[in-house]
Amino acid sequence: MPFTQKWVTGHLLGRALLAVVLAGAAGNLIDRALLGFVTDMFQTTFMNFAVFNVADICVVLGGIGFCAYYLLLFDRLEGKEAGHDAPGTDG
């Protein structure tokens, strides 16, 4: 049976996470298209870490949020229990 539900856009949390990821991607794309490079603005002085910007934060946090949404909340939000859709099981 094909998966036909819109799991990303079917819930407010999924739409918000999609908006955060797309906003970060659009921010980096606009910088790349207009300037030819992405402007990074945050550099940590207390540890050796990559220089980053707000768009990078949006993409990373949105991606982590998608993983958490899918792994932790998806079955509950859809009203299912984990394991019922596994092949070879009854129910």
The one catalytic residue in 40, 75, 85, 90 is 40
Question: Which parts of the chain register pLDDT below 50?
Answer: 1, 4, 81-82, 91
Q: For the chain, what are the domain ranges?
A: 12-77
The one catalytic residue in 31, 56, 75, 85 is 56
- Cα distances from 2 to residues 5, 11, 36, 74, 85, in angstroms, run 9, 20, 42, 17, 12
C-beta separation of 54 from 27 below 8 A: yes
Rounded distance between C-alpha atoms, residue 67 and residue 76, angstroms: 15
Q: pLDDT (tens digit, 9 = 90+) per residue, 42-58?
A: 777 787 777 888 888 89
Q: Is 31 part of the annotated catalytic residue set?
A: no
Phi-psi region of 68 (alpha: psi -120 to 50; beta: other; left: phi over 0): alpha
pLDDT score, position 53: 85
Q: Is 40 part of the annotated catalytic residue set?
A: yes
Report which residue type is found at 10.
G
**CB contact burial 5-19 (16+ within 10 A = b; e otherwise):** eeeeeebebbeebee
The model's pTM is 0.68
